A = this chain, B = another copy of it.
Amino acid sequence: MSLEIPEVVINRLPVYARALTELQLRGESVVSSQALGELLDVTPAQIRKDLSYFGRFGKQGRGYNVNSLLSKLREILGIDRQWRLILVGVGRLGQAIAEYGGFGPQGFEIVAAFDANPALVGRTIGGAPVLEIDELERFLKTTRVDIGIVAVPAGDAQPVVDKLVAAGIRAILNYAPITAHVPRDVTIRHIDPVLAMQSMTFYIKRAEPGAK
């Protein structure tokens, strides 16, 4: 059924949802694909086409009801519920992730963190207990976890990903600077600001005086 919805479409839905949340906050009740597109630098046709994969949410002549479109999107994406995360790697990066306040309000709760460094074990980070990495498997056997966050050094990342996958985790957010491999039925996203930087330099290099 919905198997053939392009991944690019899925990746845009959260952006739409975010904008609708903002509009809701501002007290707007209706928005057209035109107006939403201007907010997001997306063509109106694209928004309408994207939404049409999931149903007919708009009213001709009016546009979309902000509240109801937002709740539809939240339901489609599954962000209308609580998700349970674990964090693997409690170094500087891992600590920043745990203490970054952005996940909680969106329904993503870090229920535990894991690290190989015994000095960290027993602490609490962002409200979650830090456990010994060897406990990972046992923990996952007894506790429901939906998503794993990987924040270990590059060299350790693939084995950690493998462990998560073996334990049944089906979604991974990887902050380690490697291309991690997962089976096709596992979803993975990579966060790497260095890669983002390195693609930007291509464009600003060209704009320099003397560039070809």
Binding site for B on A (CB under 8 A): 1-2, 10-11, 13-15, 17-19, 22, 39-41, 76-79, 83, 92-93, 96-97, 99-103, 106, 108, 146-147, 170-171, 173, 177-179, 181, 185, 187, 189, 191, 193-207, 212
Q: A77-B199, A193-B191, A198-B14 are in contact. Are A41 and B181 (CB under 8 A)?
A: yes
A40 to chain B, nearest CB (A): 5
Q: Cβ of B202 and Cβ of A77 under 8 Å apart?
A: yes
Q: Cβ of B79 and Cβ of A198 under 8 Å apart?
A: yes
Instruction: Please report the C-alpha to C-alpha distance between residue A6 and residue B19 in the assembled complex, in whole angstroms.
Output: 27
Q: A41-B181, A108-B194, A204-B78 are in contact. Are A199 and B14 (CB under 8 A)?
A: yes
Q: How many copies of this chain?
A: 2
Chain B residues within an 8 Å CB radius of A93 = 96, 100
Task: Pick 18 A–B contacts, CB within 8 A, sort by A.
Answer: A2-B206, A15-B179, A39-B179, A40-B179, A41-B179, A76-B202, A77-B199, A79-B201, A92-B100, A96-B100, A102-B177, A106-B194, A108-B194, A146-B201, A170-B204, A171-B203, A173-B200, A187-B200
